[in-house]
């Protein structure tokens, strides 16, 4: 199962969502590969990874998959592990070459071809952290994944960005062999103390619930930013076995619930109000 959290607007929590679902799955005992396809390369800093080879090396420099995967970045019980492919600004060189080639079929197929050997590595879940917009690399992400998870923050432009994801996927499917579907809609940074939150949740429900699963929302949590600045996830910071998580742990609990729904192939039928929000 290959999933990319994506909204065409930046700053809506794509990387936060990717990292925390990936780490939660590893703590759940799953083998997980997290791939950074954003030239900003945020995963390197958030997870404190020191490694020389990147996604650019895989796509452009002839490196093998085994050479770019950083193994055991985080571990969990049983076989649970989080492996990562990092990225950096060199990925913009890959994008430039794809644009200059003028071969759109090559563009959309590049990442999928490069990651093809991963099927033999027996990962339970592969997550691709995606860049905003609709760059050549992102088009290749659309071609690679099984589904897109669409995070929507509680603002109008984030809501607009979610429309753009669905429209872009539909357009690309008309021209290329893209099998990706929408895994569902994920409300993030949900704070019921603000009036805009309830109006945005209502808009999400009215717009999408007849067509796509809507996952339980991720509550706003100030410790996400604090943890990221220290090179930690929420689960690093809490240092608790996941079975001891409670709703009081807010976003850590919320992401863990979403991860289980994804892993188990189950989705919420509508928006669930989080406890004690």
Write out pLDDT tens, residues 7-51. Answer: 988 778 899 999 999 999 999 999 999 999 998 888 988 998 989
Confidence of residue 186 (pLDDT cuts 50, 70, 90): very high
Tokens 């590595």 map to which residue?
121
Q: Which residue has the higher pLDDT, 194 or 274?
A: 194
pLDDT at 257: 94
Asked whether residue 255 carries a pLDDT value surpassing 80, the answer given is: yes
Across the range 112-141, mean pLDDT stands at 87
pLDDT of residue 275: 37
Confidence of residue 102 (pLDDT cuts 50, 70, 90): low
- Residue 258 burial (C-beta neighbours within 10 Å; 0-12, 13-18, 19+): buried
**Tens-digit pLDDT profile for residues 204-224:** 999 898 889 999 999 999 888
- Three-class DSSP category at 7: coil
What pLDDT is attached to residue 271?
45
Rounded Cα gap, residues 149 and 263, in angstroms: 13
pLDDT classification of 253: cutoffs 50, 70, 90: very high
Residue pointed to by tokens 């863990």: 256
Which pLDDT belongs to residue 216? 93
Instruction: Name every residue whose Cβ is closer than 8 Å to that of residue 180 and which is 6 or more positions away in sequence.
Output: 142, 143, 145, 146, 147, 148, 169, 173
Residue with the bigger pLDDT between 228 and 88: it is: 88
Task: Say if residue 93 is exposed, middle or buried (CB neighbours under 10 Å; 0-12, 13-18, 19+).
Answer: middle
What percent of the chain lies above the pLDDT cut of 90? Answer: 47
Where do the domains of the chain lie?
Answer: 2-264
pLDDT at residue 103 in the model? 66
- CATH class of domain segment(s) 2-264: alpha beta
Task: Name, in order, each residue with C-beta under 8 angstroms of 80's C-beta and a sequence gap of 6 or more.
Answer: 25, 26, 27, 28, 29, 30, 31, 32
Q: What separation in angstroms does the CA of 235 have from each of 8, 27, 31, 180, 191? A: 27, 9, 17, 30, 21
């Amino acid at each position: 199962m290959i999933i990319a959290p994506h909204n065409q607007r930046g700053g809506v929590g794509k990387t936060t969502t990717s990292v925390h679902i990936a780490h939660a799955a590893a703590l759940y005992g799953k083998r997980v590969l997290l791939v950074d396809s954003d030239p900003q390369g945020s995963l390197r800093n958030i997870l404190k990874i020191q490694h020389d080879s990147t996604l650019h090396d895989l796509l452009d420099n002839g490196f093998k998959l085994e050479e770019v995967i950083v193994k055991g970045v985080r571990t969990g019980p049983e076989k649970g592990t989080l492996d990562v492919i990092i990225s950096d600004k060199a990925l913009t060189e890959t994008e430039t070459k794809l644009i200059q080639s003028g071969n759109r079929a090559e563009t959309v197929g590049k990442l999928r071809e490069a990651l093809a050997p991963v099927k033999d590595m027996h990962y339970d879940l592969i997550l691709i952290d995606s860049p905003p917009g609709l760059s050549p690399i992102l088009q290749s992400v659309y071609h690679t994944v099984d589904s897109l998870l669409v995070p929507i923050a509680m603002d109008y432009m984030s809501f607009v960005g979610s429309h753009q994801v669905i429209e872009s996927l539909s357009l690309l499917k008309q021209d290329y062999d893209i099998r990706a579907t929408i895994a569902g809609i994920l409300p993030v940074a949900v704070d019921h103390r603000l009036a805009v939150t309830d109006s945005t949740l209502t808009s999400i429900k009215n717009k999408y619930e007849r067509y796509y699963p809507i996952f339980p929302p991720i509550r706003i949590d100030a410790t996400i930013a604090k943890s990221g600045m220290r090179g930690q996830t929420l689960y690093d910071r809490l240092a608790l076995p996941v079975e001891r998580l409670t709703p009081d742990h807010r976003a850590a609990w919320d992401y863990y619930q979403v991860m289980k729904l994804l892993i188990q192939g189950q989705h919420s039928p509508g928006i669930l109000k989080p406890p004690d929000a």
